[in-house]
């Protein structure tokens, strides 16, 4: 007969995986394609401002693009607190839920020059993975994190996302030359 306390312990065991390259499922989520199908996904971008306060910006797939296995392009509004905090520290953390696991990725962030015909007013940033981990437990699967549903002008938002991600793709391609 097995020890019930050990079975209970293994059922609660935290599975933690560290990585320095985007797992395939996350890369597919952030590949800039099929944005309408991925609408509702939200990632929290965490920064620390000059006063030591943690700030959170909620980002969609229309503001994130992973051009390769180790980087993440981010589009932010210039007046966002996160933009100012990143300019000061060069660091941010991105957290989100994907495929029943919680992800937290520490990023080193630098400016990413925009594209010549980009009139969006957005600030583009290039993050590289510093450290990252995914956590899950066997007894419970995360079914979502912070999610949203587009309302009203949803089609206009999707069009804007398509354009933003296209700018991120072009800026990422230009920076790798």
Tens digit of each residue's pLDDT (9 = 90 or more) over 144-177: 788 788 888 888 999 999 999 988 998 888 887 7
Q: How many CA atoms lie within 13 A of 104 on its CB side?
A: 6
Domain residue limits, the chain: 14-175
Q: Is the C-alpha dihedral spanning 162, 163, 167, 168 positive or negative?
A: negative
pLDDT digits (tens, 9 = 90+) for 1-55: 433 444 444 555 889 999 999 999 999 999 999 999 999 999 999 999 989 999 9
CATH topology for 14-175 is Pnp Oxidase; Chain A (2.30.110)
CA distance 152 to 44: 24
Q: Which of 91-105, 124-138, 141-155 has the lowest mean pLDDT?
A: 141-155
| pTM for the model | 0.83
**pLDDT for the residue numbered 33:** 96
Q: What share of the chain is helix, strand, coil (3-state, %, to 5)?
A: 30, 35, 35
């Amino acid at each position: 007969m097995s020890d019930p306390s050990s079975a209970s312990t293994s059922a609660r065991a935290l599975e933690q995986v560290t990585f320095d390259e985007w797992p395939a499922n996350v890369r597919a989520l952030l590949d800039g394609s099929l944005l309408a199908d991925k609408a509702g996904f939200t990632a929290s971008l965490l920064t620390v401002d000059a006063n030591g306060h943690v700030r959170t910006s909620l980002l969609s797939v229309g503001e994130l693009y992973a051009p390769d296995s180790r980087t993440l392009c981010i589009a932010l509004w210039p007046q966002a607190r996160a933009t100012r905090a990143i300019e000061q520290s060069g660091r941010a953390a991105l957290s989100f839920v994907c495929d029943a696991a919680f992800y937290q990725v520490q990023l080193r962030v630098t400016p990413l020059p925009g594209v010549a015909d980009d009139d969006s007013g957005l600030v583009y940033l290039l993050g590289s993975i510093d450290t990252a981990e995914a956590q899950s437990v066997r007894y419970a699967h995360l079914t979502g994190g912070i999610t949203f549903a587009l309302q009203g002008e949803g089609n206009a938002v999707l069009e804007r996302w398509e354009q933003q991600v296209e700018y991120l793709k072009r800026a990422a391609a230009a920076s790798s030359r």
